[in-house]
Structure 1
């Protein structure tokens, strides 16, 4: 109930403040499991993506967002969980496995799961190589993948920090991608790479970003 109330408040507020363009949302299946796979420009992407979709969207988030102390910590935990974030310890040795298992559970319950195949925010606005978790989820659950692109959100919150600025942005959804032809091949690394690259090609087409064929984490490490 609180989640529905919060969304009812935030959706019109988002439209008044940021005047977003939401394109192709009708392509998201109205029922059944769906994977939303998109680019990741800034911290606020997950909230905007969730508000752009009529169905509830669930995301993986760092557990530190919901473990804060005091009134501020409790309010942050309530907000993040209300907008669909599921906390997972992603820094541990089994963080990736836990995230994958959580995504699979959400999809098997017939819900919408949002994922950023790049694995982290883009360090420079370009689109980086996708990790194969999105392919594993699609092949394990049979869920269609709807590619999407966030455009302009990095101007609202540059670097993912600070108070958001008022600026228009676009959320653009592509046609659902069906990978049922690869059923039972979720352990084949060549198939996983091919599926992931197909998803990233669609994300690139939708957002018009320059593509870089290395992982964003590697680019960040080089820059550091």
Structure 2
């Protein structure tokens, strides 16, 4: 059974060269159980509210397997929270989760909404490795944002149970790859159509951002 290795919240707001001037990307593991609510984990924050946070990006999850792959490439351990994630999982292919997939973690019910889009704040957090945003994009190990469908509490050691998987089949990595026209990715228009049909049929509730991008993918 997949499990939750760590629950991470903001440790401190850090100065940042971006337009906001500070960043809350410094997430670190916390002990005990943490409440998950509509806007995220209790006592967690997002500094750039225009581009991060909100109900559709309430929680960010990243897998230990993807972190270890990056650790081998970067030459140091990618510890829980280093990528700004709230949840570090093991045994679950987070980047390959289907959009709309639901997980029971502790007493909370979470739903995959969209992949993470890397930014320069993320690069600066890691000390600006060469071409980091491009490298992260091309690797297509995005992790996934989640919304909180049912409030609850969760903690390290909890099982991560996939309780629902939509039939449209488009994963976070599929969509990210399609949108960014990565080699081997599905056609963006095909992925967009599958997602929009699923949304209209009530099989999934797309985030506003993903729905808008899917519409653009059909037109470009």
Q: Structure 2 length normalisation: TM-score?
A: 0.33
Counting helix residues as a fraction of each chain, which structure ranks higher?
Answer: 1
Q: Which is bigger in relative contact order (C-alpha 8 A, separation at least 6)?
A: 1
Name the structure with the higher strand share: 2
